[in-house]
Amino acid sequence: MSKASILIAEDDRVDAMDIRSSLEKLGYIIAGQADRGETAVRSAEELHPDLVLMDIDLKGEMDGIEAAAQIRARVDMPVILLMAFADQSTLERARQAEPSGYIFKPFEEHELLIAIEMALSKHRMEKKLRESEERYDLAVRGANDGLWDWNLKNNEIYYSPRWKAMLGFKEDEIGSNPQEWLGRVHPKDRKAVRENLVSHLRGIIPHFESEYRIQHANRSYLWMLSRGLAVRGSEGTAYRMAGSQTDITARKLVEEQLAYSALHDVLTGLPNRALFMDRLGHRLAQTKRHPDHLFAVLFIDLDRFKVVNDSLGHAVGDQLLIATAQRLQQCVRPQDTVSRLGGDEFAILLNDVDDASDAIRVAERIEARLVSTSMLDAVKRNSQSNSTSM
């Protein structure tokens, strides 16, 4: 038997004695006794019993119903109301006090036992639920990721405050519609996100995971990684799905920069040897399918470039290479590829030519641009200007 402590609030001495006797027989501890509403509230605050048995008719200015409401508001403990009779208005007042149960006088000991144990059990479950909700709320608010919880039955999604803040929105600026999420996904990523969601909901893949761009409140796009898991019924049908959203924009920018650096020359920004050979390979494959579609490759290196480096320094040599890259790009079309193979070596892929004369004209144009004495002079003046300003 539970050893719960109970406060008795009863103004009839005989009834109070009977209740006390019954509680002791049932193994409960008597925490105290009160015959006035004000005393009952004060005793509940001071003694902290596990439960209060409260008669609705008490002495004093505060009756049992008001006292029960005060206890519920101030102290976390269950209250059972005792009553001999109750009209509709009294019952309505009693409901507003939110008691944990009712017992009508006279009652048997087994009725008292059932009422008390049910009230204690209900209170324990409510307390655990509140603690669980508090833990969840703390976890949601403390998490760096944005959390979402999708009720598939009514098609509503709960978005955590962090989820909304990640996209630059306030708490009340986003509703519970799935379009608040999916409608903001970049049009080019939307199909993949939906396909991943559907595949998981159908049980084809074990969990949902997708990387996509989503629009921020300022109209820019952020990269997000979203993960989720469905909750399924006995038949395997998903009825709920919950997950998280992580901002991976910084990681994506690094990846893009690394990918760009792997295929481009750091100094000039031109495609490097690897990218040039890849594009050349694609062009050769096209020519095999369409032999009448011609292309040309030009190779350029700078005479006496080592002399420039040794006499004027590597800084001037670098500026010369940059200027050369810029002039080469000015000599070709957007669909052509200018590449720095390494050192002072450059290569150009003319993607589409009618005959050899087209390539010759481009070569002559390049030669005219590169042999100009003004280029090295401009590089030297620019280098000297930079040195002076420093």
pLDDT tens-digit readout, 284-328: 999 899 888 899 999 998 888 888 888 888 888 888 899 999 999
- CA 374/CA 327 separation, integer angstroms: 12
- Tell me what pLDDT residue 244 has: 92
- Tell me what pLDDT residue 229 has: 95
pLDDT digits (tens, 9 = 90+) for 48-68: 999 999 999 888 888 999 999
- Tell me what pLDDT residue 127 has: 87
- CA 384/CA 317 separation, integer angstroms: 13
pLDDT digits (tens, 9 = 90+) for 224-280: 999 999 999 988 899 999 999 999 999 999 888 888 889 999 999 999 999 999 999
Query: Is pLDDT at 389 greater than 60 in this prediction?
Result: no
Q: Which is it for the CA torsion 214, 217, 218, 224, positive or negative?
A: negative
Query: Is pLDDT at 172 greater than 50 in this prediction?
Result: yes
Question: Residue 327's closest CA among 379, 280, 272, 382?
Answer: 379
CATH number of 146-252: 3.30.450.20
Sheet holding 79-83, edge to edge: 29-34, 5-9, 51-55, 79-83, 101-104
pTM, to two decimals = 0.56
- DSSP conformation letters of 68-92: HHHHHHHS---EEEEES---HHHHH
Query: Is pLDDT at 365 greater than 60 in this prediction?
Result: yes
- Tell me what pLDDT residue 316 has: 87
pLDDT digits (tens, 9 = 90+) for 2-17: 589 999 999 999 999 9
Sheet holding 238-247, edge to edge: 156-159, 146-151, 238-247, 221-232, 208-215
Mean pLDDT of 182-211: 95
Query: Is pLDDT at 390 greater than 50 in this prediction?
Result: no
Mean pLDDT of 93-101: 88
**Which residues, including other chains, have CB under 8 Å from residue 158's CB and lie 6 or more apart?**
148, 149, 150, 151, 176
Largest CA distance in the chain: 121
- CA 64/CA 99 separation, integer angstroms: 11
- Tell me what pLDDT residue 155 has: 95
CATH number of 5-137: 3.40.50.2300
Topology given in CATH for the domain delimited by 264-389: Alpha-Beta Plaits (3.30.70)
Sheet holding 345-353, edge to edge: 294-301, 345-353, 337-342
Q: What angle do CA 345, 350, 353 make, to 5 degrees?
A: 150
Query: Is pLDDT at 375 greater than 90 in this prediction?
Result: no
Choice between 171 and 86, residue whose per-residue pLDDT is larger: 171
- Tell me what pLDDT residue 193 has: 96
- Same CATH topology for 5-137 and 146-252? no
Bridge partners of residue 212, in order along the sequence = 224
pLDDT digits (tens, 9 = 90+) for 105-163: 888 899 999 999 999 999 989 888 888 777 766 665 666 689 999 999 999 999 998 89
Please provide the distance, in angstroms rounded to a whole number, between the alpha carbons at the two ends of the chain.
88
Residue ranges per structural domain of the chain: 5-137, 146-252, 264-389
